[in-house]
Amino acid sequence: MFVLMDIEWVTNHIHHFSPTQAAALRVDDAWNAAERFYVRIRPRDKTFHIWSHMAYTGGQPSDFLFARGIFQALTDLKAWLRDDDTICFWERDSVNILKSSFNLILKEKVPQRIIVLSDYVFPFLTERKDAYQICKAMGNQASGPKHQAENDVRAIRKALACMRYPASLLGGAPPAVPDTGSVQLPFMADKAYFPYQSGVCNAVSHARDCGGLPPGVPLTGQPGPEYMFHDTPKPCPDCMRNDQPKSRREQNMEIINRSQYRFVYAESSGVFHRRDCGLVLSTASVIRGSHYYSTCEKTGRRPCRVCNPAAGHWYSPVHKSGKVLLPEVVSRSVTAAEQKALARFRKAQNERYARGHNAFESKTERDDFYTLTQPRFAFWAAAGYTNFHTRSCRKLQGLTNLEGFSRYRDAVKAGHTPCKYCKPTAKMDIVCPLPITSRERSDESVKDLQALCRQYHYPSAFENGEFSFSTPVGKWKIDTTAKPYVIYHINLVMTPQASSYHRQPRIFLSMLDCMAYIRRHDDELCERTIGSRQDPAACKAAGL
């Protein structure tokens, strides 16, 4: 039997794809529906959380965040399909997505025959239309909205039924495209931009309706001008005059928003800007940045005269009296491990404030100093040496390119052996880490956590001083009545059936620090889980 299928997908900034939903409709030769299949698919990682993208039509962000993983979705689809089915897509790109997903995730090829309907039905059409427009032209409205996979396959079935297209013709090869002396394309998806070769070395990108397209030129499709952002197909100065700058600004804005830099600059420019300056958005060069004003100055660039970036230090400044401003954070009973963590934190801050940011002769010296004064490290090793040491070891003095470890077993796992002079042991492990970047914030509240959860599309609740929320891979609680704050967690990947929370052995000085840690923790867990798709059993256990 014939299976009408549609797959929606989203592409991230490096042009990787992630399917978001798939629908299939098994029909008979008269295009009558027999069986249906539909599944939403969880995005691979946060780079695909482009919730305004049409691929997420038909559901809220939370519907996709808590949907099945790609491995489980493809496994279910594979079980639903029959060996004698003929899979029918409306466009060729969807065929490529299905084949690539089977190959990358399931490590096998799609066993069924696959055809592209637009290669067959174009002789019946007077102009290029999608299935919804065909139904409307023939007086039979298809239900929307478009780009919801289940609606799209229904529209395809209704369009084929309205045209009374003979299903028997799909058993053979598609008809040839007539050669009329002009560019002829099969009836395919809404491709907006087509790069073509216009000489020996130069490539130019044109809009589909550009009058500069010469007849008889072979065309390949691209979904938008962002595909030609930094690449060789140059935009046509006539038809893409407005689209290319707009796409460039949107992509640069996304790059800056993802970074944490206070100051940014283009590689090809001699000026640096504040991160909210609009002048840097129009650049076609790579955008760089820094937390520090002095770092941008050392590149030889001058400050922008429009946004006037101001000098400032990344860490809190020293008071004019010379006393280091340390946060007063202890407002509850803390454990012995937490007391040690706070002591390490204060000592590290004192060392960094006393040394200053500009008191280094080289970048290596500065990096090594910051590694040594990271309070979450207990052991250190140098590049090119096998031994690892404690901070007080005299053999550590003078070594460069240092690497830190929180636990004894981490250092051993990295291939290092304990120093015979300082004799580090597992009893020196850091069991309660507190990063040097932590700081107390007086202007934050539970409303900030609620706003972040809305931004990340996490279901949340606040009751009796506990702020609880769920992510695709975990459940979390933040005790906002205790300071330093306490976090409780359930790992839904390793223990999906667990109902009791366990306490995180860390210190958090602010609620925003808590959320930053949780986001980083769950993003890394998602990446590790997705990376384990080589093992089908692990993927199935993780819901991928």
Range of weakest confidence among 22-26, 372-376, 437-441 = 437-441
CA dist 334 and 313 (Å) reads 31
Q: How far apart are CA 238 and CA 364, in angstroms?
A: 50
Q: What pLDDT band is residue 235 in, cutting at 50, 70 and 90?
A: low
Q: Tell me the sheet residues that pair with 476.
A: 469, 489
Please state the separation of Cα 352 from the chain's center in Å: 33
**pLDDT tops 60 at residue 233:** no
What is the layout of strands, in order, in the sheet containing 417-418? Answer: 402-405, 379-382, 387-389, 417-418
Q: Stretch 225-252: mean pLDDT, rounded?
A: 61
Task: Kindly report the average pLDDT of the chain as a whole number.
Answer: 79
Burial class (CB within 10 angstroms; exposed 0-12, middle 13-18, buried 19+) of 511: buried
Asked if residue 192 has pLDDT above 50, the reply is no
Choice between 5 and 92, residue whose per-residue pLDDT is larger:
5
Extract the tokens encoding 52. 């305004």
CA 409 to chain centre: 31
In this prediction, residue 57 has a pLDDT band, given cuts at 50, 70 and 90, of: very high
Q: Distance between CA atoms of 235 and 241, rounded to whole angstroms?
A: 8
**Strand order across the beta sheet in which 113-116 lies:** 33-40, 17-27, 2-11, 86-89, 113-116
Distances (CA, A) of 428 to 198, 340, 425: 67, 12, 6
Burial bucket for residue 306 (CB in 10 Å: 0-12, 13-18, 19+): exposed
- pLDDT band, residue 197 (cuts 50/70/90): very low
The pLDDT score that the predictor gives to residue 467 is 93
pLDDT at 179 over 70: no
**pLDDT greater than 60 at residue 285:** yes
CA distance 376 to 23: 48
pLDDT for 39 equals: 94
List 263's β-bridge partners, or say none.
274, 290
Question: How confident is the model at residue 240, as a pLDDT?
Answer: 61
Distance CA 293, CA 484 (A): 31
Report whether pLDDT(359) > 60.
yes
pLDDT at 112: 92
Q: What is the pLDDT of residue 531?
A: 57
Give me the pLDDT at residue 25, please.
Answer: 94
In the predicted model, is pLDDT for residue 245 greater than 80? Answer: no
Q: Which long-range contacts (CB under 8 A, 24 or more apart) does 453-456 make?
A: 456/49, 456/519
Identify the residue with better confidence: 382 or 336.
382
Q: Is the pLDDT of residue 231 over 60?
A: no
Instruction: Compute CA 458 distance to the chain's CA centroid, rounded to the nearest angstrom.
Output: 16
Percent of the chain at pLDDT > 70 equals: 78
Cβ–Cβ under 8 Å, residues 480 and 450: no
Nearest alpha-carbon partner for 280 in 257, 260, 299? 257
Q: What is the pLDDT of residue 151?
A: 92
What angle (nearest 5°) sits at the alpha carbon of residue 522, between those of residues 521 and 525?
Answer: 90
pLDDT digits (tens, 9 = 90+) for 107-157: 899 999 999 888 887 655 545 467 888 888 777 788 888 899 999 999 999
Phi/psi class of residue 515: alpha, beta or left (left: φ > 0; alpha: ψ in -120 to 50)? alpha
The whole-number pLDDT of residue 4 equals 94
User: Is 86 strand, coil or helix?
Assistant: strand
- Token pair 């940014």 in the structure block, residue: 264
Look at 407 and 358; give whichever has higher pLDDT. Answer: 407
Express each pLDDT in 395-409 by its tens digit.
Answer: 998 899 999 999 999
Q: Give phi and psi for 470, each to the nearest 5.
A: -125, 145
Sorting pLDDT into bands at 50, 70 and 90, what band is 440? confident
pLDDT value of position 490: 93
Lowest pLDDT segment from 246-250, 286-290, 392-396: 246-250
Please report which confidence band the pLDDT of residue 172 belongs to, taking 50, 70 and 90 as the band edges: confident
Q: Report helix, strand or coil for 264.
A: strand
Whole-Å CA distances, 427 to 390, 408, 416, 431, 483:
12, 8, 17, 10, 27
Average pLDDT score over residue span 70-93: 91
* Whole-number Å distance between alpha carbons of 275 and 366: 25
The residue ranking higher by pLDDT, 64 or 258, is 64
Q: What is the pLDDT of residue 455?
A: 83
pLDDT at 282: 82
pTM above 0.75, yes or no: no
**pLDDT of 332 higher than 80:** no
Per the model's pLDDT, the better-predicted residue between 229 and 395 turns out to be 395
pLDDT surpassing 60 at residue 160? yes
Residue 318 confidence (pLDDT) above 50: no
What does the pLDDT read at residue 123? 58
pLDDT surpassing 50 at residue 224? no
